[in-house]
Amino acid sequence: RVALVTGAGGTLGGAVARAFGREGASVLVGYRRSQDEADAVVADIEAAGGAAHACQLDVTDQDSVEDFVGQADRRYGRIDVLVNTAGRLDEADTVRFEQMSAEAATTLLAVDVIGATRMCHAVIPHMRRAGRGAIVNFSSTYGNGINPENAINWVPVTYCAAKGAIRGLTTSLARDLAPEI
């Protein structure tokens, strides 16, 4: 199998990429800023006998998304799995809604929601040609909203909205693409 993992230079994405590598998948490790961490993920996969390649990816940029998916197709000849773990939650954004700038909110939504949407849209034709595939979008329990007792001071409303949108995207795609994907 061939797995594409976004945000694989981070803790969660790196763990997902390593797990796919351990199971014998060839993995395209997508990272935005953390090349050293992505290279470490690749090294771990290769040390375990797997195949992996790190590739810079900005899920908010269509050209970057197309290049990433194209590299997977050229390098491995197929795309079996897409895992979207790329996300954004900077410490500076961990404020109440009215204190978060519109620019910061838009960036968070662009990475979490639009980025996942771009990635899904880019891989679906490859999976359709193969007659199968799987897409995994990571969300959060915060997609159900904030628990004011323990989270209002550090989880922004926009983050919760983004994670709720990912849930809606995933559920809707599952219904639209089944049974092949």
Predicted local distance difference test score (pLDDT) of residue 143 = 79
pLDDT at 148 over 90: no
Predicted local distance difference test score (pLDDT) of residue 91 = 61
pLDDT tens digits along 33-51:
999 999 999 999 999 999 9
131 torsion bin: left (phi>0), alpha (psi -120 to 50), beta (else): left
Predicted local distance difference test score (pLDDT) of residue 150 = 53
* Average pLDDT score, the chain: 91
76 noted as active-site residue: no
Phi, psi at 172, each rounded to 5°: -65, -40
Q: Which residues, 6 or more positions from 27, have their beta carbon under 8 angstroms from its beta carbon?
A: 2, 3, 4, 5, 8, 17, 20, 21, 42, 45, 50, 51, 52, 53
Catalytic residue among 31, 76, 142, 159: 159
**The model's pTM:** 0.92
pLDDT at 32 over 70: yes
CB count, 10 Å around CB of 13? 26
What does the block give as tokens for 95?
Answer: 């404020």
pLDDT tens digits along 70-129:
999 999 999 999 999 998 776 666 777 788 888 888 999 999 999 999 999 999 999 999
Predicted local distance difference test score (pLDDT) of residue 52 = 98
The mean per-residue pLDDT over the stretch 153-162 comes to 78
What does the block give as tokens for 41?
Answer: 């993920």
70: amino acid identity, one letter: G
Predicted local distance difference test score (pLDDT) of residue 78 = 96
Predicted local distance difference test score (pLDDT) of residue 98 = 83
Phi, psi at 110, each rounded to 5°: -65, -45
- The 3-state secondary structure of 29-72, one letter per residue: EEECCCHHHHHHHHHHHHHCCCCEEEEECCCCCHHHHHHHHHHH
How far is residue 57's CA from residue 65's CA, in Å, rounded to a whole number?
Answer: 7
Q: Which position has the higher pLDDT, 149 or 10?
A: 10
The mean per-residue pLDDT over the stretch 19-26 comes to 96
pLDDT at 161 over 70: yes
